[in-house]
Structure 1
Amino acid sequence: MAKMKYKISSRATILLGRESVSKVEGALIELIKNTYDADATLCYVYFETSENALYIIDDGTGMTKSVIEDNWMMIGTANKRDEYISEKDRIKSGEKGIGRFALDRLGSLCEMYTKNANDKFIKWSTNWNSFEEAGKTLDEIEADFDYLNTNIYAILPECVKREIKLLEKKLNEDRGEENEVSFIFKTGTVLKISGLRDDWKETTINNLINSLGFLIPPEEQDEFYISIQKSKDSGFELIENNLSEEFDYKINANFDGSKFEITMERNEFDLSRMPDDVFREERFLRYPYRKEDFEKKVFTFNYPISQLFSTDDEELIAKIKEIGEFKFKYIFMKLSMQGESQDVYFYKTISKTRKNWLDEHGGVKIYRDNFLVRPYGDVNSDSYDWLGLEARYNSNPVAVSSKSEAWSVRNAQGQGTIFISRITNGSIIDKSSREGLIENESFKLFKETIIKIISVFEHDRAYIARTLKQYDDRINEKEKTKREGTALAQNILKNKKDNKSAKSKLESLAKTVKYYEEERDELITELKLLRSLATNGLITSSIVHDLKSINAILVTRVDSMRLAFENNNLYLIERNLNDLYKNDTFLKSWISVISNQSKKDKRRRLKKDLYVTIKNIVDILDPILKQKKVELLVNTDNKATSRRIFESDYESIMYNLIINSIEAFSKSDTKNREIVIDLKTEDKFIIIFTDNGKGIGSYFKDPYDIFKFGTTSKYDQEGNVIGTGLGMYIVASTIREYNGDYRLLEVNNGFSMEMKFPI
């Protein structure tokens, strides 16, 4: 059988060059990456505007003839994939073997001068327009090659030599004599690109300089310098990416593939202004919130994957391990301080320059092998907020001192740097366009992981702010003042006719307060409805499998019943009737819960016997509990305690607790599923809720995190969050509305929680 060979049109290089590397900045960055891979200390870019050319100059290892033939001119070579560590132990950033076609994107002509320690000085040149000639295949295109009797430094333009000497001087003044820098160009490469395809105006070059400022992380900028010279008469501009010395919080996180080591530094609070009695607050009596902890400032926490993600799903944990080792650095800086903030929270004074710095440096950027992965964190791109921090904040825009302690940071308030590598993070893959990463399952989990790390600092800041706010409210007796003002307003309105001497302004003030009260009542009514609807949704989600099963037989069960009657099969008739009764009872229970919770009278504050109310609430769920094979027992001390309540609030508490127990049972092998509710009255009305399910487990570092807004342990097989994080948040927020307290009694061997309500 005869054989036929594939042929590649020479025009294929246009697809690889001009069209694959579409943006001119991206093309130049590809070539700068090559200088880093070549172990250069300096990459110098010079725009020779009079010749419509640009130079890319480096003092790296240079190339030999064999390297040019076997690697540089070999399309798609895998040499950087196979030999990925340079002599300076740098991880080479390229691997696909198409970066050199960025030259075609920049200009039509290229001259390369290169010197390697193991070969003579080489000149290589090519005309990219020759690749466009019709009918030619790639193997018919040739480049010019020659040995020259000269050196790298001799061919540099005189204006470049001048500026490189000045650059040396500046760097040595900054570094000191012990770390002297000298650019001698014994080896290296010079690329001269002519016939530029873009008009490099000063504004274009300035945009390039801004982009290059973030190309390498600050830690690498003492080992690799990038400098730009805009024209023959201009001076060098050293590309720098300076870190801010100012911050409120700083996080350094290291993931070793199995656990997270997170170091957090607080720098927001002025300890010298905080009175000692602040640290007598109950919430400030435990680590890391004691006075000595505030003095220490820096804390290190170790989180297994299960704790950071609050899950014991082995499949999900395995997928997170596949992400591989990485590092993440993040700093938070608030942009302003509201009127009372500095006094309430004892903040340090902030500078006026931090906003300008964040405007330029903000966002979370990704570096693969010490080179920026664009466009993540680029303020001028759609990927500036690629983590979705703004959407996350907007979904629950609470103050940092919110009772929910669910405050979340905004994208514009922070700056982050993520370090990954193609060696350790193989599942995070570059797009072929060299712009961005493929958003596969690993990348989505990677994003979720970064947000989980950020939430460590968010929780700490919210906890502190909430405690300081409680302290301030207690000291200033704000709540007492509000109650007295409300009572005064009501009294003025009640005695308006008898008190003819009351001034009109005082009456107007009283009416204003009253109107605020009315608006507050409307908002409370709306809140009750929304809370009830949320609880209804959670109930439905917990029994959705049962509802689907019933839905599947809603029509076919009629046929089954008809067949039994036609054949006078008493056994089948009885069995069908039993199934019908069981399913309809279950549906009736679910419909009763859904419809009753949104009734208007449930959202009115009425005087109720708390024992009877709770007993009635759980009785409605009895068919659902039977369907789930759960036995629920209510124990009482045979007392009667009444108070004015919204019945829907107590329904929300009990239903959400029972839903969680049902879901805990579904994840455990408990044979006798039991829920026990103990009711008793001492100085307060007490509810103790207990189940013998799976419990919370060790994957919550702090078990009380379950009460935070959005905290969930429910993920699907792809690692996507499927839990709402609302259930226990609703429980806690409802208890707080009644000035109640709660504490966890058991979280491992089952679940138990005590709730106390003033009477």
Structure 2
Amino acid sequence: MRKLTYKIEDHVIAKVLGIQNFTTDEAAVLELVKNAYDAGATKVDLSFFESSLVVKDDGKGMSLEDIKNLWMHVGKSDKGYLEVDQNNENRILSGSKGIGRFALARLGSCVKLYSKKKSFETVKWETDWNESYVEIEENKSDWSNGTEIHIYDLRSVWRKRRLEQLKVFLERTYNDSKMSIRIISENYNVTLSNYFPKPEVGINCKSYIHLDIKSGELFVNVKSDEFNDYAQSFLPDINIKEFEFKQNINVLLSNWDNDGRDSIDEGDINKLIDELGDFSAEFFFNFKASKNDKAKYEYKYTVTDTVLSKGIVLYRNAFSLSSYDGNKDWLNLNARARKSPAAATHETGAWRVRENQIAGFVCIDKEENPLLQDLSNRQGLDENIYYHLLVEVISLGLKEFERYRQSIIRAIKKHKESEQGVSSKTDNIITKLLSKKCKVQELSDIEEKQLLSEIQDLKESLRARIGTEREAQARYEYDVRLLNVLATIGMKVATGAHEIYNDRNHYISSYDNIENALKDYDMWDILQTPEYTRISTKNIPKIIEKGRSSMKRIVRIIDTVLQKSEVQRFIPKSVDLKGLIEDIVRQWKADYNRVNFNLDIQNGIVLNLSDDVLWTIFDNLILNSIQQNSGNVIITIEVTVKNNTIQFNYHDNGKGLAKKYLARPRLILEPHESTRNGGHGLGMWIVYNTILSLRGEIDSIDGYNGFNIIFHIREMSSIGN
């Protein structure tokens, strides 16, 4: 059998791998810069003329044999992972596919290349992309090593504005200091500087977030100078300057299903995390605060002196992947904010950082993260499961920063509200004037100054009240958005329930009619013999009995759905608490015979509220206990009166909270927090909001020995002995 090899025309290669392969001229220039870096150059000059470009570096250069055997061999590369450059520094090489040289075709129609390797003669290679030639260049021997590429008949015009754009692009893209890059043209000579400065909180960011992913663990370190030092005096439990967090990633990713793309068990997640490898990220958080908010939330700055352009860059060693150079929201920050649009001041909603509030970069490694694979044109990554895992882990790190910052703002807001309540009770000049205890003409100089100060305070208070009302409006808009989704689902269910309800007698009697018909045809006794009941899937009497039992249960559920959506359930009235909880328990026991209840409820507690409120709390708690646990479940509910509040203690004997929540159980109160596949993560958020609406609070949550939650409410009309 004769061996064959492909033959292809030069102009076809230039078109496919050059002109069409590189999406922009800037990406093609970057490819030439990468080649200089991989050649060990300490500097590269990009000199633009009217119709030509000269790229000159002081790298190791090429010999005649290199040109013949490597440069002209498409798809072949001698580049490994790491090389030592002429300054004895290690460089991780960016190229490996052997097609980057065709970036030249994207930029111009003709090329002349001069290259010299130490101890070798200068080589000249030229092409018009139809034919290529190589020879020894005897007239260019005044250099020891390097490469000089002349690109003629440029396909684009490079004026000053375009060169400035190229400068910004290359600065964002190049993330190393081993090689300097200079852009030269008429009246333009600029050496590129580092795009991302050394992080300095209070100077170029309000908070700096560093993520490290090592050996399957997530490390988060936050340094902040966002808030006035004074705020620390009334926030003893929170360090407003620094925050650290460490956790196994597999614990945080329990039941991760890659947004429904894959079915992944715990063992698979451990394997995927290990295969993904270690990486790191650095983020600069910044935003412009209003003057009113600056005073209200103890912000130290309206905005810092230096503000970095938004965008997150993904670097693979010294260079970014060009489709991840900060211009697209590849971390889905906007989608995260849309899903959870709460302000940082929201009592229960989860604040998410906005795309325009953060800049930074993520660093991956060619050898450490081999499964984050380039597309063939090197203009992006294959968005496989490892890419999605990378994005998810970064999102987990950002969540820790978001929770930390929101906890500070919530605490400051709470302190300010209590402080305002105290100051409003003090006597003042305005109060005396309004009560006619004194007249303006009778005020002393000191009292006049105090009056002016009080008027100014009133103006500030009015502004603050307007701001508070706006926050409340935003908070309720957020709550309504989430609840509208659930309400819409509920209406669809109720509509279907009405249709089933109208035919409920038919559904239940159908199984009786089938059984009676089989008896009338003298088939029932035969079907009950061992011959016909041996196989469960063909045991007709058993199938009929199971169907009858299931249908009765469905009808009970339909009755419950329709009953709970009746208008009168939402009308406040006097309610006996013990009787109401007993009704709730009775309903659940009818639907789930594997659930048992122990009730210890103080007699004589009467509430003035609508039925739906406590049903909402306990329905969600009981549903969670059932969904999280298989087998028999014992639920204990204790209710007592203490310090003019009603104390509730709810406990089940199940498996308790997932690992990720054990140390920080209040995370389950955040919206969209769930470890159950297909779970919406809103149940406990609804419970918390309902308790707050009753002027209550959740006192403690524990998930080590079963699940336990203790909370109190203050909405009551009378309490018996």
- Tell me the TM-score normalized by structure 1: 0.76
Map 1:341-352; keep pairs closer than 5 Å: 341-351=293-303
Find the aligned partners of 1:255 and 1:203 in 2 and give their Cα distance. Answer: 40
Q: Secondary structure at the match of 2:639?
A: strand
1:433 aligns with 2:377: yes
- Residues in 2 aligned to 1:27 and 1:108: alpha-carbon distance in whole angstroms: 14
Q: Give the SS at the match of 1:663.
A: helix
Distance 2:364 2:482 in 1: 47
- The one-letter amino acid paired with 2:691 is I
Q: Partner of 1:703 in structure 2?
A: 665
Q: 1:633 aligns with which of 594, 597, 608?
A: 597
Other-structure match for 1:621: 588
Q: CA deviation at 1:610?
A: 1.9
Cα distance change, pair 459–526 in 1 and its aligned pair in 2 (3 A):
closer
SS at match of 2:622: helix
Q: Does 1:227 align with 2:185?
A: no
* Residue 602 (1) aligns with residue 569 (2): yes
What's the counterpart of residue 167 of structure 1?
none
Is 1:16 the equivalent of 2:6?
Answer: no
Correspondence 1:44 to 2:45 = yes
* Map of 1:592 onto structure 2: 559
Q: In structure 1, what is the Cα distance between the partners aligned to 2:285 and 2:214?
A: 24
Of 134, 137, 145, the residue aligned with 2:135 is 145
Corresponding residue of 2:674: 712
Contact 1:365 1:416 in 2 (8 A): yes
> How far apart are 1:748 and its partner, in Å?
2.0
C-alpha contact 1:691 1:751 (8 A) present in aligned 2 = yes
* Matched-pair contact (CA < 8 Å) for 2:54–2:151: yes
Report the AA paired with residue 200 of structure 1. Answer: W
Q: Is the 8 A contact 2:349 2:671 kept in 1?
A: yes
Q: Please identify, of 419-428 and 693-702, the stretch whose mean Cα deviation from structure 2 is larger.
A: 693-702
Structure 1 segment 142-221 matched on structure 2, within 5 A: 142-148=132-138, 150-151=140-141, 186-217=144-175, 220=176
Residue 528 (structure 1) shift: 11
Match of 2:288 in 1: 335
Letter in 1 for 2:192: L
- Deviation of residue 681 (structure 1)? 3.2
Task: For residue 258 of structure 1, report the CA deviation from its aligned partner.
Answer: 0.8
Alignment check: 8 A CA contact 1:263 1:298 kept:
yes
Query: Aligned ranges for residues 30-41 of structure 1 at < 5 Å?
Result: 30-41=31-42
Within a 5 Å distance, the mapping from 1:250-329 to structure 2 comes to: 250-271=208-229, 273-274=230-231, 276=233, 278-279=234-235, 284-285=236-237, 289=238, 293-294=239-240, 297-309=241-253, 313-329=266-282
The runs of 5 or more residues in structure 1 that have no matched partner are: 131-140, 154-185, 482-512, 541-552, 716-721
Deviation at 1:531, TM superposition (A): 8.5
Q: Which position in structure 2 is the counterpart of 1:161?
A: none
CA contact (8 A) 2:121 2:141 kept: no
* Alpha-carbon spacing, 1:313–1:681, altered in 2? closer, same or farther (3 Å): farther
Distance between the aligned counterparts of 1:230 and 1:597, measured in 2?
Answer: 76
> 2: CA distance between counterparts of 1:63 and 1:528?
63
1:526–1:692 CA distance, 2 compared to 1 (3 A): same
CA distance, structure 2, for counterparts of residue 699 and residue 538 of structure 1:
34
Output the CA distance in 2 between the equivalents of 1:310 and 1:677. Answer: 29
5+ long unaligned stretches in structure 2: 256-264, 426-465, 495-506, 529-538, 717-721
The answer (yes or no) to whether the contact 2:342–2:478 under 8 Å persists in 1 is no
Greater CA deviation, 572-581 or 58-67?
572-581
For residues 511 and 72 of structure 2, the distance between their equivalents in structure 1, rounded to whole angstroms, comes to 73
Q: Provide the C-alpha distance between the structure 2 equivalents of 1:471 and 1:404, rounded to a whole number of angstroms.
A: 17
User: Within 2, Cα distance between the matches of 1:309 and 1:526?
Assistant: 29
What is the CA-CA distance between 1:48 and the residue it aligns to? 1.8
Q: Which residue of 2 aligns with 1:177?
A: none
Alignment check: 8 A CA contact 2:249 2:393 kept: no
C-alpha contact 1:532 1:648 (8 A) present in aligned 2: no
Cα separation, partners in 2 of 1:727 and 1:98, compared to 1, 3 Å: same
- What residue is the counterpart of 2:455 in the other structure? none
Alpha-carbon offset, residue 64 of structure 1: 2.5
Identify the residue that residue 687 of structure 1 maps to in structure 2: 648
TM-score scaled by structure 2? 0.79
Aligned AA (2:59):
G
Deviation (angstroms), 1:60: 1.6
1:30-179 correspondence to structure 2 within 5 Å = 30-49=31-50, 52-80=51-79, 82-87=80-85, 88-128=89-129, 130=130, 141-148=131-138, 150-151=140-141
Q: Which residue in the other structure is 1:365 paired with?
A: 313
**Alpha-carbon contact 2:21-2:377 (below 8 Å) kept:** yes
CA distance in 1, matches of 2:698, 2:522: 60
Q: Which amino acid aligns with 1:329?
A: E
Q: Distance in 2 between matches of 1:252 and 1:608?
A: 53
1:536–1:593 Cα contact (<8 Å) kept: no
CA shift for structure 1 position 663: 2.4
Residues in 1 aligned to 2:154 and 2:125: alpha-carbon distance in whole angstroms: 18
1:648 pairs with 2:592: no
Q: CA deviation at 1:118?
A: 4.1
Aligned partner of residue 646 in structure 2, secondary structure? strand
1:577-629 Cα shifts (integer Å, max 9, x gaps): 53233212321233234333333223333321222222222322234323xxx
Q: How far apart, CA to CA, are the structure 1 residues paired with 2:242 and 2:642?
A: 43
**1:366-416 deviation line (CA, Å, top 9, x unaligned):** 00122011232534xxx2x22221232233322211101511110000012
Provide the secondary structure at the position in 1 that maps to 2:391.
Answer: helix
Deviations 1:70-121 (A, max 9, x none): 22221111432x4544543211111211100111111121111222224232
SS of residue matched to 1:56: strand
- Secondary structure of 1:143 counterpart: strand
Secondary structure at the counterpart of residue 609 of structure 2: strand
Instruction: Give 1:387's match in structure 2, choosing from 294, 316, 331.
Output: 331
AA at the equivalent of 2:554: L
Q: Which moved more, 1:328-337 or 1:567-576?
A: 567-576
CA distance in 2 between partners of 1:127 and 1:532 (Å): 65
* Percent of pairs with identical residues: 26
RMSD (Å), alpha carbons = 3.4
What amino acid is the match of 1:390?
N
For 1:559 and 1:480, how far apart are their aligned partners in 2?
75
Would you say how many aligned residue pairs link Structure 1 and Structure 2? 626
Deviation at 1:459, TM superposition (A): 0.2
User: CA, structure 1 residues 236+687, in 2 after alignment: closer, same or farther (shift >3 Å)?
Assistant: closer
Contact 2:245 2:400 in 1 (8 A): no
CA 1:699/1:479 → structure 2, altered by over 3 Å: closer, same or farther? farther
Could you tell me whether the CA contact under 8 Å between 1:212 and 1:239 is conserved in 2?
Answer: no
CA–CA distance in 2 between the matches of 1:152 and 1:586? Answer: 93
Give 1:204 deviation, angstroms. Answer: 2.3
Q: 1:326 to 1:34 in 2, by over 3 A?
A: same
Amino acid at match of 1:754: I
Shift of 1:479: 13
Q: Which amino acid aligns with 1:714?
A: R
Deviation string 1:536-582 (CA, Å, 9 cap, x unpaired) is 69999xxxxxxxxxxxx999979975556634315477645532332
Contact 2:575 2:609 in 1 (8 A): yes
Please report how far the alpha carbon of residue 530 of structure 1 lies from its aligned counterpart in structure 2 after TM superposition: 4.1
What is the identity, as a one-letter code, of the residue corresponding to 1:349?
A: Y
Which secondary structure state, in structure 2, belongs to the residue aligned with residue 734 of structure 1? helix
Q: Could you report, residue by residue, the CA deviation over 1:165-209 in whole angstroms, capped at 9, with x for unpaired residues? A: xxxxxxxxxxxxxxxxxxxxx422111111212222333222212
Task: Please report how far the alpha carbon of residue 351 of structure 1 lies from its aligned counterpart in structure 2 after TM superposition.
Answer: 3.8
Please report how far the alpha carbon of residue 327 of structure 1 lies from its aligned counterpart in structure 2 after TM superposition: 0.7
Q: Which has the higher contact order (CA 8 A, sep 6+)?
A: 1
Task: Give the match's secondary structure for 1:194.
Answer: strand
Match status 1:748 vs 2:696 = no
Match of 1:566 in 2: 521
